[in-house]
Amino acid sequence: MIDLFPNTYSKFTCPKCSSTKVNVSDFYFQGIHTLADCVCGSCNYEFITDFPISHALYHPISIGKKDFQLFDEHKVKWFSQPLLDSFKHKNNTDLVIEKKIFNQKKEVILLNCLDNLYGHVILKLFNSTEHINKFPEYGLIVLLPKSFEWLLPTGISEAWLVDIKLSETKNWYLKLDEFVKTEIKRFTKVHLSLAFSHPDFSKINIEDYTKVNKFNVETYLDNTPQLTFVWREDRFWLTNIFSSFLFDLAENISELSFFKKWLTLRQKNKANKLYEELKKEIPNIIFNVVGVGKSFKFQDGINDCRQTKIDKDTEMKWCKIYSESHIVIGVHGSNMILPTALSAGFIELLPQKRFGNILEDIASDKSARIGMFLSRFVDDKISPKSLAKLAASMFLVFPFIELTMSEKYLQHKNYDDVTMWQKYYRDKVININAKKI
């Protein structure tokens, strides 16, 4: 965390002359960005710059106040260009901001979770755990889009809930800035959370956020095999180059929405085929489809849990399904964060153009070899038949992996009877591979 009020963090560098003699006169809460108002003590250049938090911790953006020059060293246009646009066109419309106070403190940490991307909001919010557990002497204030209120963890001091669409968080809201500056005067000291964009999941209890217990891997073999396919109609399971070409074309040219309908139909057919192939390997498998959209119907036997509108009840229902799933399968994206946090294992369909983004949407806290076994990344060109074989192996091979590689059975101690290893192998490994599942 870094200081915000009454003393303000000032370790900045002038983007014009590289001097570190920078004076900070004010700060702004734009929405996604928390910014310092700076003037260079060497060349007198006036600029605003990101406080080093969240994504700006790695690639901060600066903008000249008078010449609107954009300083984006790492060329992250998805992050910098919207900020420049919002700086040029500030928004003075009213905002509905709800303030909820649970436990008043005089010294607080402010965690800004506003973002235009669903996954970014959740990942920033997960930083709450570290603050609550390690810094109980400070109160934690969470600045959050209203629609994510259902994920607030117990233990925070306050929640400032902004009732806007995620896409609107790119705007520079003068009313938001006014609200925050008024509120922080209630405190003797305010720190800014670093809001890591990818917090350490080994320290996070997902139950604190979803209020749903994650899958207990110890009971992996005790329940009917269940697989959940995470459905999207804005990113697709594309099994060939031609489909990828059409998707890229449809993304860039809105008039080509017909192609998206065709791609959705193909994805539905592939989900049906995946189910058929899995049934051959595991006859009693439960197969769910979860996500936004109701395009086309699935074949009998598939539990269609899709919705066209997302609310708290829908999110909670889906979380319950994830928590009962041995495996979740989905295309790379923020839709995989909660599923991978709650399920036993996952298979992510990773497009080649996203190879560099691997792990960014995975919230699994498993690190031992069992966790590695239950965590799979495959090229999104994989066929339904091959994907079914892979998924089935995660059920059928699990007993052998558990017996030979899990901490539970790798114990060097004095035994009066070691026949439990043979019994486990006979009762589970042999029977599972004989498809008695």
Q: CA-to-CA distance for 340 and 425, rounded, in angstroms?
A: 29
The answer to whether position 431 is within a domain reads: no
Percent of the chain at pLDDT > 90 equals 75
Stated pTM of the model: 0.90
* Same domain for 267 and 127: no
Structure confidence at residue 243 (pLDDT)? 59
Say yes or no to pLDDT of 35 above 90. yes
Highest mean pLDDT among 184-193, 197-206, 287-296: 184-193
Q: Is position 38 within any domain? A: yes
- Do 329 and 372 fall into the same domain? yes
Question: Does 51 lie in the same domain as 193?
Answer: yes
In which band, very low, low, confident or very high, does the pLDDT at 261 lie, cut at 50, 70 and 90? confident
Give the pLDDT score at 418.
85
186: Cβ contacts below 8 Å, ≥ 6 apart: none
Asked if residues 115 and 121 have their Cβ atoms less than 8 Å apart, the reply is: yes
Cα 173 to chain centroid, rounded: 25
Domains held by the chain: number: 2
123-132, 311-320, 344-353, 404-413, range with the lowest pLDDT = 404-413
Most confident of the ranges 15-19, 310-314, 353-357: 15-19
| Residues 225 and 160 grouped into a single domain | no
pLDDT of residue 403: 87
pLDDT at 429: 81
In this structure, what token pair is assigned to residue 256?
């080509």
Q: Residue 236 — pLDDT band, cuts 50, 70, 90?
A: confident
Per-residue pLDDT at 384: 95
Residues 155 and 289 grouped into a single domain: no
- Cα–Cα–Cα angle for 69, 60, 17, rounded to 5 degrees: 50
Measured CA to CA, the distance from residue 128 to residue 131 in angstroms comes to 5
Tell me, rounded to whole angstroms, the distance of Cα 219 from its chain centroid: 26
Q: Tell me what the mean pLDDT of segment 401-415 comes to.
A: 85
Mean pLDDT of 17-32: 96
Range of the domain at 315: 217-396
Q: In this structure, what CATH number is given to the domain that contains residue 325? A: 3.40.50
pLDDT of 419 > 90? The answer is no
Residue 258's pLDDT is 64
266 and 175 in one domain? no
Q: Are residues 183 and 309 in the same domain?
A: no
pLDDT at 436 over 50: no
Average pLDDT, the chain: 92
Q: Is residue 171 part of a domain?
A: yes
User: How much of the chain exceeds pLDDT 70, in percent?
Assistant: 94
pLDDT tens column, 343-379: 999 999 998 888 998 989 999 887 778 899 999 999 9
Residue 47 lies in a domain: yes
CB atoms within 10 A of CB 417: 6
Q: How many helices (H) and strands (E) does the chain have?
A: 14, 17
Residues 244 and 143 reside in one and the same domain: no
Is 419 inside a domain boundary? Answer: no
One domain, residues 307 and 379:
yes
The pLDDT confidence band at residue 323, using thresholds 50, 70 and 90, is very high
pLDDT of 406 higher than 50: yes
**Is the same domain home to 156 and 233?**
no
Biggest CA-to-CA distance, the chain: 81
Give yes or no: residues 344 and 227 share one domain.
yes
Q: Residue 84: inside a domain, yes or no? A: yes
Residue 411 included in any domain: no
Q: Is pLDDT at 78 greater than 60 in this prediction?
A: yes
* 223 and 328 within one domain: yes
From 166, 199, 232, the end of a domain falls on 199
Render pLDDT for 83-115 as a digit per residue (tens, 0 to 9): 999 999 999 999 999 999 999 999 999 999 999
For residue 420, is it within any domain? no
Q: How confident is the model at residue 62 (pLDDT cuts 50, 70, 90)?
A: very high
